[in-house]
Amino acid sequence: MLHLVRESAVGQILNWASKGRILPYPDQRADYVVPSKYLKGVFDSQAPTLNASTSPRPPADVNTLVDAEGVVKKTESQEGAAAGDLEKGSVDPELPPEIAAYPFLVEFDENDPDNPRNWPKWQRNFVAALVCFLTFSVYVGSAIYTSSIPDIMVTFGVSQVVATLGLTLFILGYGIGPMFLAPIQEMPHFGRNPVYIAGLFLFVLFQVPVIFAKNIGTILVFRFLAGFVGSPALATGGASLMDIFPMESAGTALAVWALGAVFGPIFGPVVGGFAAQANGWRWPIYELLWISGASLLLLAFFLPETLGSTILLRRAERLRKLTGNEMLKTQTELDATADETILDVAWLNFVRAFQLSAEPAILFANVYIGLLYAIFYLWFEAFPLVFGDIYHFNLGLSSTPFLGFVVTGFMTFAVYLSYNKYYFNPRMMTDPNFQPEARLELGVPAALTIPISLFMFGWGARESVHWIVPIIGASLYFPGVFIAFQVCLNYLAMIYPQYAASIFAGNDLFRSTFASVFPLFGAAFFKRLGLGGGSSLLAGLNILMIPLLMLLIKYGARLRAQSKWTPGH
């Protein structure tokens, strides 16, 4: 457990402030033996072994190589050309083949315990649970606000549309945020953790102005800012799990993470409903402050860095300080462009995300998932109409029907894992004609549950029909939306693996933009068309998407062959 604390944000601060005396790494202990590969000369593989506490430290201002005779100092003035070549990752062409690679490369050893993929199973599962809790604690902040809307309207004298902006701006914030913050988490000098913890700290802090707001403008501004700074948990939580799980387990890990992400908006109204009914609109925000604050404390002490390149970079920095050998480099340092800045990386990802959105497969996934996601949030406006106006549930009870999603959620999760384990994965490994479009096949039967859900919810919501009918109808929506997310995003990651981060950021922006707009006209939409008519229109849109999904399955390989983004083009 101390290993987790050392790798956490708090542990890193303590280690840095104490200069390695608190929670030390092995290479910061007095009995550490420096591996000879970090000390030997370029041509000599028989370098002496040095002890961290007793060995003489070479000057830090020179590039130091050690051979069998002792320390050989090479300054930039003496060996400028050679050192320059090595800095760029190239080596002398006359070097023996066995040391043709960069001779001072810092990388993970075989079975290296610092490699996240080599962590014990309990540790990987514990870290996965922390990431899921992080995602939940931010995602719950969207829908928990819906319980506050009626009292906000009365307190500040605003319309329902204006009050609902507190929901839509939060969603828009966590759609825009990843376009700028997620690229920072891909940079080894930062890694995942600093952005997670800093963002979560600000997320917690921004709840305070909302709670004590004296006007609606303050609420809207800080709701948007909270969504923006909390967005990395929603965009790159899956990437953190990919860091620690091998490919054969990554699919299950991502499904668990997605389940936790969807449960956030589901539990939000349930958690906030009774609090708002008893104590007014501020109390759901108090609950959000407590949930996210608990997440911040837990993660600050126990969430380790998972990005392998960041872990290696920190190791290289410690070894350079220990040995004085400034030529110790990680692969990412060798590959880095000297003049590349954070803004350059963010802009590149931002532009690429829009360019990739024009690809037919990506465009379909963005529109389809955006539509499903928007309807999901549109329902937050329909539930009070159904269970408040028709079935006369109070504010707290009118949110409990969302728990129907939890039942179908666990059932869907079990079916999806069984499908992958017993059918899809064996087929992928053994079928010589396997195509990535096979990943989409499960989406067709799953998509049929969505119009069934909408028809049952919309036309079953009447006083002459028991309230359990629209609850069952609503809960049937979950299998379709969950499996659509899984098959579409896994398919895109499979066919465009090198651009997955840009694709996911673009998809997040696309679906969040959809979802941020739909709640603004949700109440008017269902009041004008009626619950049955409005649900039928949405069901019809979903039915139209099913043939498009089938066409993508049939012709996706041809489209990929013509795409400039496909690997090999």
Q: Which residues contact 43 (CB under 8 A, 6 or more apart)?
A: 67, 95, 96, 99
Q: Which of 55-64, 321-330, 405-414 has the lowest mean pLDDT?
A: 55-64
Higher pLDDT, 26 or 206: 206
pLDDT value of position 41: 52
Of the ranges 29-43, 74-88, 422-436, the best mean pLDDT one: 422-436
Q: Which whole number is the average pLDDT over 224-244?
A: 87
Query: CA 487 from chain center: how many Å?
Result: 17
Q: State the pTM of this model.
A: 0.81
Q: Average of pLDDT values for 114-129?
A: 91
Name the pLDDT band for 243 (thresholds 50, 70, 90).
confident
| Mean pLDDT across the chain | 82
- Average confidence (pLDDT) over 320-330: 86
50-77 burial, b at 16+ Cβ within 10 Å, e below that, comes to bebeebeebeeebbbbbbeeebeebeee
- Number of Cβ within 10 Å of residue 346's Cβ equals 17
**pLDDT category, 84, cuts 50, 70, 90?**
very low
User: Quick one: pLDDT at residue 290?
Assistant: 96
Q: Which residue has the higher pLDDT, 327 or 37?
A: 327
Average of pLDDT values for 257-280?
85
Average pLDDT estimate for 119-123: 91
- Domain(s) labelled CATH 1.20.1250.20 in the chain stretch across 120-305, 337-569
What type of residue sits at position 142? S
Segment 33-44 mean pLDDT: 66
Domain 337-569 has CATH 3.40.190.10: no
Query: What confidence score (pLDDT) does residue 342 get?
Result: 66
Instruction: Please tell me the class of the 120-305 domain.
Output: mainly alpha
The confidence score (pLDDT) of residue 43 equals 37
Sequential DSSP letters for 327-352: T-B-HHHHH--TT--HHHHHHHHHHH
Q: What percent of the chain has pLDDT over 70?
A: 86
- Mean pLDDT score, 313-328: 88
**pLDDT-based confidence at residue 205 (cuts at 50, 70, 90):** very high
**pLDDT tens string 436-478:** 889 899 999 999 999 999 999 999 988 889 999 999 998 998 8
Most confident of 209-213, 253-257, 504-508, 554-558: 209-213
The residue among 499, 125, 114 whose CA lies nearest residue 308 is: 114
What's the average model confidence in pLDDT over 95-119? Answer: 76
Q: For the residues of 96-153, what is the DSSP string, one character each?
A: -GGG-S-TTB--PPTT-TTSGGGS-HHHHHHHHHHHHHHHHHHHHHHHGGGGGHHHHH
How many residues are recorded in the chain? 569
Helix axes 160-185, 360-383, angle to 10 degrees: 140
